[in-house]
Amino acid sequence: MSERRRRPLTARGLGAIVLGVLFAIAANVVSAPILVYVAVLLFVLTVLSVLVVYVPRRSGTVTRQVSTDLLTVGEESRVTVRFALRSLRIPHGRWRDVLPDAVTGDAAGDYPPDAGVLRYPITGVRRGIWPVGPLVLRTVDPFGLAQREQVFGETRTVTVVPEVIPLAPLAAHWGAAGGTAHMSSSRLGQGSDNLSPRHYVSGDSMRRIHWRATAHRGELMVRQEEEESSPDAIVVIDRAARRWARPDRGVDAAFESAVSACASIALHLAGEGYSVDVLDSAGTTIGTLRGHEDDRDELLVALAILAPRGESRDLASIVGGTPPGPLVVITGSISAADQELLHHGGAAVPILLAAHPAPELLTTASAAGFTCAVLTDDIAASWELALPERMLAGGGRVPR
């Protein structure tokens, strides 16, 4: 708890002091003793008012609870503040919680509150991890001459994550079953112990005997030929500093759209059955989606603090030796000379979303095998324009 640096007198209190000085001067000029009494009364009232608000000792504890662990941009949540004030008497005034610019809300009210607990709504405006608080209590004396502001408690962080936009299904446009698509595995014999064993039946080749399972069960087992799921997808967000506006120019709306698009596409692909790796353009893993409950939150928190920095690497080296199914690349200012982002490494469905592409870039990317579109603040529309079926329906035209 600490005192805020604020003048101890209100505008009315300053007016009372000035008026008292004028009355004292006027009393000497016009020889009117009554004006001296009025001036003294004003001075005494002002001093008593200051003593009333500043003499009582106050201390208190503050605890905050946010109704949602992660606040999405544009989403409303509710903050509950429990304020235990210890004082000789209950002061009357106004309370307010200090909010960052990235969060809006009506975080103020009369003190003491009717319900005994302070509550107010907040809405996420800009992604990031932001401090909420401390609590400020402003009290004024009954005459409105003196004021006091005290700060109670510490700050609490609130995490604002990027907005997740519903997107059109990829599988319907690709003409496949998305992440549930299967490919037959022919890995029989040595190195195929990962295949599930079954009981031996007459006619099975002796080369297919699963010796480990046979020893474990005490009866002849063979390797079961089965279909293996191959649901891998990669989402790459190009965070190279040269692709985006300089940080000293304020919030880059294009980069914010790119981050939101990254979160939306990754979660959308995971919902279609893919195991998704989210990487930056340097090859650093931002998050993975493997169907675990915490995967989504961990990815969103990582994206909440993502900022442009560094340089980008060759896309083919990021993808690695095994080409994924869908490969989605999200970038900013890019020209046809940036060839390192146009080598998709044989991905089954390469998609490029660029916020500020050069006029010839989309044509060059299309020739390299990408389906592409300009990334705007309407992320759902940009995604739908980039889907493969749209490219085919347009007779190979590149959306501008």
Closest CA to 111 of 152, 64, 77: 152
Give the pLDDT score at 192: 40
Where is 160: in which H helix or E strand? strand 156-161
pLDDT in tens, 58-72: 999 999 999 988 999
Q: Is the pLDDT of residue 392 over 60?
A: no
- What confidence score (pLDDT) does residue 91 get? 87
More confident residue, 55 or 176: 55
Q: What is the pTM of this model?
A: 0.76
Q: How high is the pLDDT of residue 179?
A: 54
- Residue, of 226 and 365, whose pLDDT is higher: 365
Give me the pLDDT at residue 264, please: 97
Residue 253 has pLDDT above 80, yes or no: yes
How far from 18 is each of 23, 26, 81, 254, CA to CA, in Å?
9, 12, 40, 55
pLDDT value at residue 180: 44
Asked if residue 312 has pLDDT above 60, the reply is yes
CA distances from 262 to 211, 329, 352, 398 (A): 46, 9, 12, 22
Question: How confident is residue 361, by pLDDT bands cut at 50, 70 and 90?
Answer: confident
pLDDT at 354 over 70: yes
For residues 310-342, one letter each, b for 16 or more C-beta atoms within 10 angstroms of the residue's C-beta and e for the rest, the string is eebbebbebbeeebbbbbbbbbbbbebebeebb
Asked whether residue 394 carries a pLDDT value surpassing 70, the answer given is: no
Exposed/middle/buried for 58, CB within 10 Å: 0-12, 13-18, 19+?
middle
CA distances from 92 to 168, 192, 285 (A): 55, 76, 53
